[in-house]
Copies of this chain bind each other. A is one copy, B any other.
Amino acid sequence: MSQNPSRTSRWHAHNTRLGAYLGKPEEDGWRRRWYVIIFEAEKRAGRQFDVTLLIAILASVLVVMLDSLPSVHDRAGTLFTVIEWLATLLFTAEYVMRILVVRKPWRYVLSFYGIIDFISILPTWLAIFAPEMAYLIDVRLLRLLRVFRVLKLTIYFEEAQILLRALVNARRKIFVFLGTVFIITIILGTVMYVVEGPQHGFTSIPVSMYWAVVTLTTTGFGDLVPKTPLGQFITSLTILLGYSIIAFPTGIIGAELVSSMREAAPRSPPQPASRACTDCMTNGHDTDAAFCKRCGTKLPPHPTETANSQ
């Protein structure tokens, strides 16, 4: 309850900071007008601008996808080229405009979104010289991160942040896990290369390692399979033993989520009885707190005190 506003206000603060550092022009000319259109999603013009971008992004990604289908390419190839160039021109114009209207262009160019915006327009231009570059247009999907704000998806950002924080908290455990899997992969790959050998498809240690990754993660394509009894025995053992190791990512993520949800729990809406301080309106007090942790005022008694003894 207190978390949410604070997080949202942090978000606003972030935007304000961003605005400050991107430098909203002070004079009232076209630069200011365009600044509002490009950077302010709350205004009507800004909303329309964002929706146009959103459609352009999705259209250009969809075009790349459909264009790879031979049958569709033959029929609609020219249309696709037109759409792709229209989107690219729009993004290029937008990119140039952004540089023109902000007070400190280099700060924008070198910012996270500035780089994404730049590499989003690059592929089509480069594809003039190297056609297969066109496939990099998918990078535009990352621009969705920016345009999502128009859809009022803030609540999803919060949930994404919870998941991301679980991943960040667990990063060391996951590195240890990946390291362990990597070493098992090398050893298992080498063993299977020696046991099965090139005649059964394990043509080199890197290929065997690819098989080991595919097997340990229980993906099991089946393009490479152990054919010798010894190889099948080693595989069975490795899968069974490795299964306990491969259970770690899920366990780690689950444990992190449980722990982060427990932290969040006492302030979550389902337990409305988190008493607010009568003096400073702070809430989120522990159930056993008798005094406000912000201002020290005596708190009202907890309504569910007896029910909480479990």
Q: How far is the CB of A299 from chain B (nearest CB, A)?
A: 8
Q: Is A82 an interface residue (CB 8 A)?
A: no
Q: How far is the CB of A216 from chain B (nearest CB, A)?
A: 9
In the assembled complex, the Cα of A144 lies from the Cα of B235 at a distance in Å of 25
Identify the closest chain B residue to A296 (Cβ): B291
Bin chain A's interface residue count: 35 or more
B217–A221 touching, CB < 8 Å: no
In the assembled complex, the Cα of A290 lies from the Cα of B209 at a distance in Å of 53
Q: Contact partner of A173 among B163, B191, B205, CB < 8 A? A: B163
In the assembled complex, the Cα of A35 lies from the Cα of B194 at a distance in Å of 38
Q: Chain A at the B interface: mostly helix, strand, loop or mixed?
A: helix
A253-273 near B? 1/0 per residue, CB < 8 Å: 111111101110110001000
A173-211 near B? 1/0 per residue, CB < 8 Å: 111111111110011001101100000000111110110
Q: Contact partner of A258 among B248, B255, B307, CB < 8 A? A: B255
Q: Is A21 an interface residue (CB 8 A)?
A: no
A173–B167 touching, CB < 8 Å: no
In the bound complex, residues from chain B placing their C-beta under 8 Å from that of A176 are: 156, 159-160, 163
Q: Is A138 an interface residue (CB 8 A)?
A: yes
**CB within 8 Å of B: which of A198-237?**
203-207, 209-210, 213-215, 217-223, 225-226, 229, 232-233, 235-236
**9 cross-chain CB contacts under 8 A:** A64-B190, A141-B187, A167-B244, A181-B240, A206-B229, A222-B223, A243-B246, A266-B307, A286-B286
